[in-house]
């Protein structure tokens, strides 16, 4: 039986992971489930999946969870805070860790899972964006497995040969084609984007995602972060990654080879497909996803992204090329800017301006094998600078 910890169990990825896990009760068991503050939903999940551990990032929510589960004859051990998250990510009885905590908050437990040699199912892209060098070093040193859950990166993984870690050029790869839906505003007049509301930005046309990721999709910062993530996952650089807008979200990404072949992975836009792929790999297991009906789709469209419409994508490429701490600054500034937009403190178009201003104020520093505390300090300074820029807008 394969023991699984789900970091971020109450989010969309966590819920999909538990759905796949429940389809294979003879193969997987939930050892630990975690959430931020949603004690009610985590309590429901604990009643159904009966984990040995339950973790709330928020201490008050942990106390509430204890109350909600007090009637169980064998309630899970309840932990709280980042220490609890790190503990359940590295438990000896855990084999797989789904890293699905959104944002930089997922960095510590994801790194703990890698250091403990687990199969890390990576849905938290910020772990690689902020600390790619640290995470990849931990994977190499511990013998952990790092399998991508983002639908695009999982698609690329499926289209590459098993020995791609020898170097993409050595296996005949010319470039990676990273698809993007383009979000809900790809056809809006640019001069209307300042009027976008949080409700409009969160109404993604093809994917059901959380609010922060939905906004990132609307600005295409999500795709920019995925470019940085792909550089680490597949040992390449931005010159070999091209973003392609594909509104139907049926082709999840493609790999172009030197012989002229282009391999693509297709499927309905349902995160259970990459989750089941990573949980079963190298086997294929049932995910519960409806089979793709090509006749119903009928057409597939592709467009080049407009960097005037999507300045966040341009900023992400620039941060990737700068390297060092620039991606960490980019991510931190974006998290502050997106939160401020969702709180209606700044307009939609100000998100990119806050990120650009923060990158200008905090030039990239070299990593020089610096540790996690150095990166967390960079993250703190970037958030403080981004908040200052938000305040300038507010006042």
Binding residues for 1-deoxy-D-xylulose 5-phosphate: 125, 151-152, 181, 204, 217, 222-223, 226
Question: Alpha carbon of 246 to those of 17, 180, 187, 266, 300: distances in Å?
Answer: 26, 6, 13, 12, 7
- Can you read off the two tokens belonging to residue 7? 């970091």
Question: Which tokens in the block code for residue 196?
Answer: 């976008």
* Integer angstrom CA distances of residue 47 from 16, 30, 54, 264: 17, 12, 11, 40
Residue 53: phi and psi, rounded to 5, are -135, 145
Binding-site members for Mn(2+) are 150, 152, 226
Structure tokens at 241: 């990654």
Sequence-distant (6+) residues with CB within 8 A of 121 are: 17, 96, 97, 98, 99, 147, 149, 275, 278, 279
Going by the annotation, the residues of the binding site are: 10-13, 37, 124-126, 150-152, 181, 204, 210, 217, 222-223, 226
Q: Which residue from 165, 166, 173, 130 is spatially nearest to 147, judged by alpha carbons?
A: 165
**What whole-number distance in Å separates Cα of residue 142 and Cα of residue 90?**
12
Compute the distance between CA of residue 381 and CA of residue 347 in angstroms, rounded to an integer: 23
Structural element, H or E, at residue 132: helix 126-142
Of 382, 390, 368, nearest in space to 327 by CA: 382
Q: How far is CA 377 from CA 130, 232, 267, 373, in A?
A: 12, 22, 40, 6
Binding residues for NADPH: 10-13, 37, 124, 126, 210
Backbone angles phi, psi at 5, to 5 degrees: -105, 130
- Residue 33 has φ and ψ, to the nearest 5°, of -125, 140
Q: What tokens does 342 get?
A: 């969702």
Question: Sheet containing 262-266: which strands, arranged edge to edge?
Answer: 241-245, 173-180, 251-257, 262-266
Beta strand 262-266 with 251-257 is antiparallel
Longest dimension (CA), the chain: 63
């Amino acid at each position: 039986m394969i023991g699984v910890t789900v970091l971020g169990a109450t989010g969309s990825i966590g819920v999909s992971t538990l759905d796949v896990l429940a389809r294979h009760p003879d193969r997987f068991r939930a050892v630990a489930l975690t959430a931020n503050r949603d004690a009610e939903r985590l309590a429901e999940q604990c009643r159904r999946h009966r984990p040995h551990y339950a973790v709330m990032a928020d201490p008050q929510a942990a106390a509430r969870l204890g109350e909600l589960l007090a009637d169980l004859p064998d309630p899970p051990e309840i932990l709280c805070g980042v220490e609890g998250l790190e503990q359940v990510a590295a438990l000896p009885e855990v084999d797989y860790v789904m890293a699905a905590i959104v944002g930089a908050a997922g960095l510590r437990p994801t790194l703990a899972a890698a250091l403990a040699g687990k199969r890390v199912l990576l849905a938290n892209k910020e772990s690689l964006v902020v600390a790619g060098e640290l995470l990849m070093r931990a994977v190499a040193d511990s013998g952990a497995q790092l399998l991508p859950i983002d639908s695009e990166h999982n698609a690329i993984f499926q289209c590459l040969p098993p020995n791609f870690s020898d170097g993409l050029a050595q296996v005949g790869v010319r470039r990676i084609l990273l698809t993007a839906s383009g979000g809900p505003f790809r056809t809006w007049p640019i001069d209307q984007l300042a009027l976008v509301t949080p409700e409009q930005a969160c109404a993604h046309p093809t994917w059901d995602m959380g609010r922060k990721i939905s906004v990132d999709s609307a600005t295409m910062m999500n795709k920019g972060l995925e470019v940085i993530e792909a550089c680490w996952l597949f040992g390449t650089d931005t010159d070999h990654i091209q973003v392609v807008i594909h509104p139907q979200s049926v082709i999840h990404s493609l790999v172009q080879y030197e012989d002229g072949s282009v391999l693509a992975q297709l499927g309905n836009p349902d995160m259970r497909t990459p989750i089941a792929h990573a949980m079963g790999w190298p086997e294929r297991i049932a995910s519960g996803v409806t089979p793709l009906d090509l006749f119903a789709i009928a057409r597939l469209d592709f467009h080049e992204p407009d960097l005037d419409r999507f300045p966040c994508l341009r900023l992400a490429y620039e941060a990737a090329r700068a390297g060092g701490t620039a991606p960490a600054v980019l991510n931190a500034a974006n998290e502050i800017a997106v939160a401020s937009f969702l709180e209606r403190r700044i307009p939609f178009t100000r998100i990119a301006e806050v990120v650009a201003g923060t990158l200008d104020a905090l030039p990239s520093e070299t990593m020089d094998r610096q540790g996690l505390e150095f990166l967390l300090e960079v993250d703190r300074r970037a958030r403080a600078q981004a908040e200052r820029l938000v305040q300038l807008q507010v006042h």
